[in-house]
Each structure stands twice: as C-alpha cells, then as structure tokens.
C-alpha cells in the first residue's frame, strides 16, 4: 500500500488508460480489452455507504467522519482494473470442437436465457490488492470501525469498477446494435462456483492481477468475474431474477 500523501491522481487526469492486448491462453491467441481506471473515476461518496448500511442514512451520518477519512485515504492509492473478451455464442448445431464457449454448466433456465444472446463478454474486474491492504492496516491499528468501512469500500469500489466496464463494453457494442444484459457470476443463479476455472481459462493468466485459490475464490478478494450476455433483444434488468431458478430466494422480485 502506498504511503498516505503519495497520490496517484492529479487534477484533470484521464479516468482510465485502455488498450487492446494480444494474449495467450493455452494454445489460443486472445484479443483482450483491458482498463486501468483511476480511483477518482469511481466517484465513491458517503451516499454509496448509506445504500449499503443496514440502518441507512442514520448509520452513515453517525460515522460520516470515519467514512470520509477512509474514502479520502483510498483515493490516494486505489488502482481498479477491468478486462473483458468478447466471444461468439456457439449455435447448437456447431461442432463442439469448434465452439468458442466451453460448457460452463449454467443450468437449464440460465442456458435458455442465453439463447437470446449473440455474443458473450467474459470479464474480470477488481478494486485491487490495495483495497485489502487498507482493511488490513486498520485492523493492525485496532481501528475496527474504519476496518469495517474499508472492507465495505472495497465492495463498493469493485461494483463501480464493473459499472465502468459496462460503459466501455456498451461503447464497443453500439456499432453492432448489441445490448448488454445483466452480468452473471459463478455462484449466482445455480451456476457452480467451481466453474470459475473454466471461466478463467477463457482469459490470459493473471488477468488484471487476479488469480484463483484452491477453493476457486478470487484473490484479491474484492474482485468480480463472470459473463455479460450481448444481444439485440437484450436489456439490462435491475435484478437477475428472470434468469434464476431459485424460487424460494427472499430477494426474488
């Protein structure tokens, strides 16, 4: 973690640096869109914490000073990153050996929903190892309150990084009149977490500095991975309930 005061941000700095890289995964050459965003582009505010906290505005107002201090410190070194690869969705009549998308065991209902897609964006994004380091530094200081908010900030940061990835992805898809659906991650909607390995096989190793441990969990912890369906008839719904087979979920809409 960088020392406080050694900010990586400057007034007027670009929100991100981007590039298309030719990488390899196994014997395949991959075209990957990668982005290094700035902490300021995430635009994390007190209102973001209010939405996450169980007591909402009351709780965020009580701890407003601590939250603002965590936000200010994180802004000096947070380094969010994102990358995606767009691949064609294989048709049922295509030879399985020629398919770009492996069998990711998405579940019958989820697979049916994916029939509406023409392409799929395989993605990863992360708030970076620095988010976890900030949390750990507060724990070492015995400041459990700020440690809690630092952990929450990491969650907010990676979610906002995904939003920035969406923005870049939608720009690329405009020319083909494709629309992005809701991102789906291993562990969601009956998609086994063990499928992380298959998902990561579609991307270059150490993409965005993210790796899998033996439990198929991502390191850094504040990271997201998954697929974003792309199609002319798709729309990004507020909830993923339409593609999920869990009818007893308390959050179902």
pLDDT > 90 in the chain, percent: 57
Alpha carbon 206 to chain centroid, angstroms: 15
For residue 130, the enclosing domain spans: 16-239
Q: 217 or 22: whose pLDDT is higher?
A: 217
Alpha carbon 40 to chain centroid, angstroms: 17
> 122-136 pLDDT, tens per residue?
999 999 999 999 999
Domain count, the chain: 1
> 144-179 pLDDT, tens per residue?
999 999 999 999 999 999 999 999 999 999 889 999
The answer to whether position 253 is within a domain reads no
In this prediction, residue 59 carries a pLDDT of: 85
The answer to whether position 162 is within a domain reads yes
The answer to whether position 59 is within a domain reads yes
The answer to whether position 5 is within a domain reads no
The answer to whether position 216 is within a domain reads yes
The answer to whether position 148 is within a domain reads yes
Token pair listed for 105: 């065991």
Token pair listed for 251: 């959050």
Confidence of residue 31 (pLDDT cuts 50, 70, 90): confident
**pLDDT at residue 9 greater than cutoff 50:** no
> 103-118 pLDDT, tens per residue?
677 666 566 667 778 8
> 180-230 pLDDT, tens per residue?
998 989 988 778 899 999 999 999 999 999 999 999 999 999 999 999 999
The answer to whether 175 touches 186, Cβ cutoff 8 Å, is no
Confidence of residue 243 (pLDDT cuts 50, 70, 90): low
Select from 80, 222, 70, 77 the least CA-distant residue to 149.
70
Token pair listed for 218: 């991502």
The structure's pTM equals: 0.83
In this prediction, residue 189 carries a pLDDT of: 76
In this prediction, residue 160 carries a pLDDT of: 98
**DSSP three-state, residue 119:** strand
Residue 180's CB is within 10 A of a number of other CB atoms, namely 21
The answer to whether position 8 is within a domain reads no
What is the full DSSP assignment across 168-223? Answer: HHHHHHGGGT-EE---B-TTSTT--GGGHHHHHTTS-TTGGG-EE-TTS-EESSSE
CATH number, domain at 89?
A: 3.40.109.40
Q: What share of the chain is helix, strand, coil (3-state, %, to 5)?
A: 40, 20, 40
What is the C-alpha separation between 139 and 142, in angstroms, rounded?
5
**DSSP three-state, residue 145:** helix
The answer to whether position 10 is within a domain reads no
> 65-107 pLDDT, tens per residue?
999 999 999 999 999 999 999 988 754 444 444 445 556 776 6
In this prediction, residue 60 carries a pLDDT of: 86
Name the region of 31 (left: φ>0; alpha: ψ -120 to 50; beta: rest). Answer: beta
The answer to whether 80 touches 162, Cβ cutoff 8 Å, is no
> 44-68 pLDDT, tens per residue?
999 999 999 988 788 889 999 999 9
Beta bridge partners of 223: 126
């Amino acid at each position: 973690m960088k020392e406080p005061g050694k900010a990586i941000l400057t007034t007027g700095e670009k929100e991100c640096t981007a590039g298309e890289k030719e990488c390899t995964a196994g014997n395949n050459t991959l075209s990957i869109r990668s982005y290094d965003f700035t902490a300021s582009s995430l635009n994390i505010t007190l209102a973001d914490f209010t939405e996450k906290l169980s007591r909402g505005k009351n709780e965020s107002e009580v701890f407003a000073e601590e939250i603002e201090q965590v936000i200010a410190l994180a802004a000096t070194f947070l380094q969010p990153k994102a990358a995606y690869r767009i691949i064609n969705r294989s048709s049922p009549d295509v030879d399985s050996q020629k398919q770009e998308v492996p069998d990711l065991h998405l579940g019958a209902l989820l697979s049916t929903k994916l029939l509406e897609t023409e392409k799929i964006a395989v993605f990863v994004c992360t708030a970076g190892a620095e988010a976890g380091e900030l949390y750990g530094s507060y724990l070492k200081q015995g400041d459990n309150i700020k440690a809690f908010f630092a952990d929450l900030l990491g969650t907010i940061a990676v979610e906002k990084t995904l939003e920035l990835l969406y923005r870049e992805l939608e720009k690329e898809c405009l020319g083909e009149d494709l629309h992005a659906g809701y991102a789906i991650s291993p562990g969601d909607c009956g998609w086994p977490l063990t499928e992380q390995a298959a998902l990561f096989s579609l991307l270059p190793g150490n993409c965005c500095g993210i790796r899998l441990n033996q439990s198929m969990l991502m390191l850094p912890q504040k990271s997201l991975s998954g697929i974003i369906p792309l199609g002319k008839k798709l729309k990004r719904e507020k909830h993923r309930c339409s593609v999920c087979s869990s009818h007893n979920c308390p959050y179902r809409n």
